[in-house]
Structure 1
Amino acid sequence: MEPRPQLSRIPPFDRLPAETLARVAEAVDVLFFRRDQTVLTEQEAPDSLYVLTQGSVQVLAGGEVIARYGPEDCFDLEALLRRRSPGRIVAREDTVCLALPRAEFLYLLAECPEFADPLFAELAGRTAGSRPVDTHGELAGFMIAKIGDAYVHPPLQVTAASSIHEAARAMRDNRATSLLVVREDGEIGICSGTDLRNAVVIERRSPDAPVGDIASYGLVSLEEDDFLFNALLTMTRHSISRVVIRHDGAIRGVLEQVDLLSYLSNHSHLIAVQIERAGSREELAKASHELTRVIEALHGKGVKLRYIGQLLSELNKKLLGKLFTLIAPPELIDNACLVVMGSEGREEQILKTDQDNALLLRDGYTHPGLDAITQAFTEALVAFGYPPCPGNIMVSNPYWTKPLGAFKDEIFNWIKRPSEDGFMHFAIFFDAMPVAGDTALLDEAKRYLHQQLQSNSGFFAHFARATVSFETPLGFFQNFVTGKDGQHRDELDLKKGGIFPLTHGVRSLALEHRLEPTNTLERIEALEAKGVLTPARAAELTEALTMMSTLRLTTGLRKLKAGLPQDNFVNPNELNKLERELLRDSFKIVNEFKKFITFHFKLNLVT
């Protein structure tokens, strides 16, 4: 292959004078890489700039794709300048590259501005444009910040026999807001300044009473090398304002809520506190309206979508649970289980798209004002910004609020008398997650569900068939297939075309193997662990689902700012080059997964 004609068509080499281009063509080497062959290892110092003429490569760091390059792309400029590769660069297919020696490359940068300027502009554009899906950018973000990076208060300890007065003096002398209390049996508890004040002022305890009697035991603790985000998630989940930090099991100190918040610079935990303290629907609504700002802040910091989903799921569960306690009497709460389903149950609904909830009642229990309560619950969520479910899958619909026995009857019908609506209802309910009330009711319903499936193996194939019910919006020549007219002209449906086939196909496999997780990424990990999915396929599915979900979130936030309704449509022409290539590759993975599901469940034989 003659390099000169190739280079003359590739920017920015096409801007070089003829004599300079001839010099460059003389210096380059032609390299061939087989599929999956490593081009550069992580941290390796490259000696050439690579120019792709055929095939493609991807950069892997931390097990994830942080960049991709296709024909006529140059890589890796950043690695060449910094003298180390940010990740392992691997050929995605049989690939041909022209390798320009570093010395010649530096000569062009210094002597040929017509070459250097567009090259750096392309690098800047690629870096900025790829942010929504570029996990390497998180190295400067708080997702990789460790607990040890924040301020951890030194451990202040007293014995359980110490008096409340002595404990208060120790906290004052050490300017601490809490201390650890050690009992004679070695168990350690924690006591805050608020606990001391309440004990003396509110409960009228004597200052000479032992502090061990008011301490809280069963410490919630994390390791020092854990992520700060996990500390935030833990505080939110347990409704606490401090966690004990350990190093190799030994207590290192206490991480306070205020220090964590000052490091993370967002108010997600404060929203959790607002929810807990809300005494009315109006106060709860204020906290609800802050959730979108939290999403924008986390997404803007480059936080992985999976962790945003987990945090928002915890906040949403707290929100719905609190709303239920404000509306429903304690007797109803004790005899019912409020659940979220569908994408909410999978911890994958980030923006407020619609409601998917149900209420399981204890058999034999009735409440005279139940209809009014469930209607008020749905209307309150609408006021909070959660649109009604188009399919009316809400507690205000009597079909989704009934005794456990009636739900079992529905499960029986969904499985034994399958129908299109039955499969949809089954899929939604299978992803259910408890929010408030007696969680044993949902546990019993799911046990019954799996019992009924034991004698109906043919159900799995019929259930999985929905995986291939929508066409992937990718044409024969790998071009995007978009709407030709109407409201969604030049747009494609990310959910129907890509996200749903992946989530439902994975859900079908999880159902077949009786896996407990409801989150799709956790299901993929569990399926890989059981050998159902190969590591390569599991990685591809994770990558594709994350990319498309991130793109949907980015588009959704942009539409939200523009005052447009939330939907699942995106215009490929509005994406940058890297995003388009990643979306195209994601749809390819979807098509391959559909083939896998078709073969696995023998869908060609299902009628």
Structure 2
Amino acid sequence: MSETFDITLPPFDRLTPEQQHTLINALDVAYFRQGETLLEANQPSEQLHIIIKGSVEESAPDGGEVFAHYTADDMFDVRAQLEHQCRHNYTALEDTLCYLLPKDVFLSLYQGNGQFAAYFDSNLARRQQLLEEAQRQQNLAEFILTKVDDDSIQPCLVLARQTTLDEATRQLKKMGMDAALVEAGDGQPYGIVTRTNLLHALIFDDLPKSVPIGDVATAPVISVDKGDYLFNAMLAMTRSKVKRVSVLDDGEIVGMLDLTQVLSLFSTHSHVLTLRIARANSIEELALAAGSQARLVETLFNNGIHTRFVMELIATVNEQIIEKAFQLTVPQVMQNHCCLVVMGSEGRGEQILKSDQDNALILEDGVEWPALAATMATLIETLHQLGYPLCPGNVMVNNPKWVKSQSEWLQTVDGITGRGNDNDMMDLAILADSHAIAGNKALLSPIKQRLHQQMASQELLLTTFTRPVLRFSVPLTLFGKLKANKDGLDIKQGGIFPIVHGTRALALEHGIEPNNTFERLAQLVEHKVLESSTASNLSEALKLFIKLRLRQQLDHPAGGLQQHLDVGRLNRTDRDLLRHSLHVVKKFKEWLGYHYQIRD
């Protein structure tokens, strides 16, 4: 029995209290000297080993290949518990201390708890789903602690009690509101009148239009204080069976909340931000709205919202911000004669925190625009002011290389694909992810079509295009451990780029139109290019890489958009999933090398 075993570590936290008690009572502790064999290939294993301290090497029976190294909190050999014998040797690299869980106890827990069993499934998607479900449960308490603040309070219309039904209806229509507060007076508390109240009064009760609203208002109005929890506001509405409450600040009415809005705020907080973007009439107002985007990301992430959903939502918000900046910067007379295009992660809809600008402009053929250069310089500076960093590679509309007429862009695509040299491949990759975001969006379609036509089934060109995937090594050691340098583990080059660029190449080869990597993977399955399990594992690996990078960026905002992970900060589960995911990338790179006959 062990009283010090950490039962909160996955997957043991999936066990019921009774099962956890059974596990703890069944554990034993064993000590192994350096060089001692813990498990031998082709022999049965009667215990699951969980390392307390030390290090163990997994190797082939003949010693010719090393598969992995295990250290504190790692476990092995699960496969031997489910099969009749071990496939590999396990040897202590140093003096090692392990917990031993008897095989019969492990199997009883495995068979009696589906979540516990699912953790050991080799399918990365199932393991990720299990962990995300647990994360959402863990963050539920934080999720309900959002407070009533200026962003969530709606402005309200306050009418005198003697206002007629006719005038009240007209004012509500003019203000675009569906309810108004009614002033207190003559010992009467504040009341509320809704469009439904007015409809019933005029149609069903057949009251004259001249009747004062004080006669039909509902009173008293339930109130909450600014700074109170939104959860409490929702409870107040539920208990009183009302859909709206007034908001007080030091006893004075400052606005309203309605139930639909509160439920939406609990859902994402995103509609407040999008409303502020839509209402912005100046760059200064837009900057205030854009400045709250990072808080939205952090709220969603900390509340366990799926990474894919966060990406889709933030991509939509980014589009709205950039489009609004375009509308405020580019003269209205020119807006329908050009198209602003975003590329890179923004073009794929995979950006979460604001990254470097990647944009281009397509001009309608024959358009004369003397102030074009000055306008584009202003646009880039505006986007920079809104929090989008300048692109180090100068892939921006203040660079004439990325501002051309539609005909010139078509010639550019023909030239790049015709030359097919390594120097042009980066530009080709950038254009492949282009997405129209403002202006006359139809200008982009012929260019994307030409790009797909020129790339489809061009084996030599696709080989050159894909070759960069193999130039960056996967950050795993020869022993299958995570590999990091003094800056950390480069997750962009070693994990994200191979999936994104490899998938991009396959999409171009098979005429798949979507830019988003997840959508491309799904269509590659439909086209029978990839196995469903392969695409699923690649999707889950990419989500994990983005999630781990985002978590680090949120924890260390002063560090900027760093692409390196501090492996030492990862818990055992994240290390395990990261190692598993990088092996998925390694296999994908090997498949790409074979598929495109790349000899690098």
TM-score past 0.5 threshold: yes
The whole-number CA distance in structure 2 between the counterparts of 1:73 and 1:31 is: 6
Q: Which letter maps to 1:552?
A: R
The corresponding residue for 1:386 is 388
1:455 Cα deviation (Å)? 7.5
Match of 1:64 in 2: none
Q: 1:591 is aligned with what amino acid?
A: K
The aligned counterpart of 2:136 is: 138
Letter in 2 for 1:570: L
Label 1:307 to 1:461 Cα distance change in 2 as closer, same or farther (>3 A).
same
**Equivalent runs, 1:396-435 vs 2, <5 Å:** 396-435=398-437
Aligned partners of 1:433, 1:375: CA distance in 2, in Å? 20
Structure 1 position 533 matched with structure 2 position 530:
yes
Change (3 A) 1:279 1:22: closer
Distance 1:402 1:462 in 2: 26
Amino acid at match of 2:551: T
- Residue 114 of structure 2 aligns to a residue whose secondary structure is coil
CA distance in 1, matches of 2:119, 2:511: 36
Provide TM-score, normalisation by structure 2: 0.63
- SS state of the match for residue 372, structure 1? helix
- CA–CA distance in structure 2, aligned partners of residues 555 and 21 of structure 1: 34
Would the alpha carbon gap of residues 514 and 87 (structure 1) be closer, same or farther in structure 2, given more than 3 Å must change? farther
Distance across 2 between alignment mates of 1:368 and 1:499: 41
CA spacing shift, 1:482–1:364, aligned 2, 3 Å:
same
> Which one of 263, 269, 285 corresponds to residue 260 of structure 1?
263
Corresponding residue for residue 54 of structure 1: 77
C-alpha distance in 2 between matches for 1:377 and 1:349: 20
Residue identity opposite 2:308 in structure 1: R
Tell me, yes or no, if structure 1 residue 568 matches structure 2 residue 563: yes
User: What secondary structure does 1:337 align onto?
Assistant: strand
Greater mean alpha carbon deviation, residues 461-470 or residues 319-328: 461-470
Tell me: CA distance 1:57–1:140, structure 2 relative to 1, closer, same or farther (3 Å): farther
- Give the superposition deviation at 1:602: 1.4
C-alpha separation between the residues in 2 aligned to 1:132 and 1:87?
A: 9
Residue pair 2:457, 2:509 contacting (<8 A) in 1 also = no
- 2:178–2:195: 8 Å Cα contact kept in structure 1? yes
- Distance in 2 (CA, whole Å) between partners of 1:31 and 1:306 is 39
2:518 aligned residue = 521
Match of 2:490 in 1: 493
Give 1:537 shift: 0.7
The 3 A distance-change label for structure 1 pair 21 and 529 is closer
Alpha-carbon contact 1:309-1:347 (below 8 Å) kept: yes
For residue 54 of structure 2, what is the aligned residue in structure 1? Answer: none
Code of the aligned partner of 1:572: V
Q: Structure 2: how far apart are the matches of 1:441 and 1:278?
A: 27
The 8 Å contact of residues 456 and 508 in structure 2, kept in 1 or not, is answered as no
Which secondary structure state, in structure 1, belongs to the residue aligned with residue 325 of structure 2?
helix
Q: TM-score when scaled to structure 1?
A: 0.62
Q: Does 1:547 align with 2:576?
A: no
Q: d(CA) in 2 for partners of 1:81 and 1:598? A: 38
Alignment-derived partner of residue 156 in structure 1: none
Cα distance change, pair 558–387 in 1 and its aligned pair in 2 (3 A): same
The answer for the alignment partner of 2:118 in structure 1 is 89
Letter in 1 for 2:568: N
In the alignment, the residues of structure 2 paired with residue 564 and residue 57 of structure 1 have an alpha-carbon distance, to the nearest angstrom, of 44
Contact (CA 8 Å) 2:343, 2:358: kept in 1 or not? yes
1:286 aligns with 2:309: no
CA distance in 2, matches of 1:23, 1:419: 64
Give the aligned partner of residue 373 of structure 1.
375
- Cα distance in 2 for partners of 1:431, 1:526 equals 16
Q: Are 2:455 and 2:508, in contact at CA under 8 Å, matched by a contact in 1?
A: no
Distance across 2 between alignment mates of 1:290 and 1:505: 34
Deviation per residue, 1:367-418 (Å, 9 max, x gap): 1111111101111111111110111011111111111111112111221112
Matched, 1:588 2:597: no
Distance 1:139 1:533, change over 3 A: farther
Structure 2 CA distance for aligned equivalents of residues 23 and 276 of structure 1:
61
How far apart are the structure 1 equivalents of 2:592 and 2:132?
29
Other-structure match for 1:203: none
Does the C-alpha gap of structure 1 residues 346 and 363 become closer, same or farther in structure 2, counting only changes over 3 Å?
A: same
Q: Distance in 1 between matches of 2:318 and 2:426?
A: 23
Structure 2 Cα separation of the partners of residues 293 and 402 of structure 1: 37
What percentage of aligned pairs have identical amino acids? 34
User: Residue 603 of structure 1 aligns to a residue in which SS?
Assistant: coil
How many residues are treated as equivalent by the alignment? Answer: 422
Are 1:57 and 1:91, in contact at CA under 8 Å, matched by a contact in 2? no
- 1:577 maps to 572
Q: 8 Å contact 2:347–2:515 — kept in the other structure?
A: yes
Partner of 2:185: none
**AA at the equivalent of 2:519:** E
For residues 178 and 385 of structure 2, the distance between their equivalents in structure 1, rounded to whole angstroms, comes to 38
* Separation (CA, whole Å) in 2 of partners of 1:491 and 1:297: 26
- 2-structure distance, mates of 1:601, 1:441: 32
For 1:288 and 1:503, how far apart are their aligned partners in 2? 27
Distance 1:133 1:442, change over 3 A: farther
Secondary structure of the 1:358 match is strand
Residues 402-444 of structure 1: CA deviation (Å, up to 9, x unaligned): 1111111211122111233311111111111111111111001
Specify whether residues 193 and 399 from structure 1 end up closer, same or farther in structure 2 by C-alpha distance, changes over 3 A only: farther
Shift of 1:92: 5.1
Conserved 8 A contact 2:110-2:117: no
1:73/1:56 CA distance change after superposition, 3 Å: farther
Residue-by-residue CA offset, 1:466-512 (whole Å, 9 max, x unaligned): 211211111101122222xxxxx151211001100011011111111
Gaps in structure 2 of 5+ consecutive residues = 8-22, 29-44, 49-73, 82-97, 123-127, 144-164, 180-193, 200-208, 210-257
Query: Could you tell me how far apart the structure 2 residues matched to 1:332 and 1:554 are?
Result: 41
Distance in 1, Cα, partners of 2:568 & 2:392:
29
1:601 matches 2:596: yes
Cα separation, partners in 2 of 1:88 and 1:441, compared to 1, 3 Å? farther
SS in 2 for 1:89: helix
Contact 1:345 1:518 in 2 (8 A): yes
Residue by residue over 1:59-84, the C-alpha shift from the partner in whole angstroms, topping out at 9 and shown as x without a partner, is xxxxxxxxxxxx9697999x969974
Question: Residues 433, 133 of structure 1: CA spacing in aligned structure 2 closer, same or farther, 3 A cutoff?
Answer: farther
Please, which runs of 5 or more residues in structure 1 have no aligned partner?
Answer: 1-6, 14-19, 33-50, 59-70, 94-129, 146-163, 179-191, 198-206, 208-254, 484-488
> Which one-letter code corresponds to 2:523 in the other structure?
A
How far apart are the structure 2 equivalents of 1:73 and 1:511? Answer: 51
For 2:556, what is the secondary structure of its paired residue?
Answer: helix
Q: What residue in structure 2 maps to residue 120 of structure 1?
A: none
Contact 1:57/1:89 (8 A) holds in 2: no
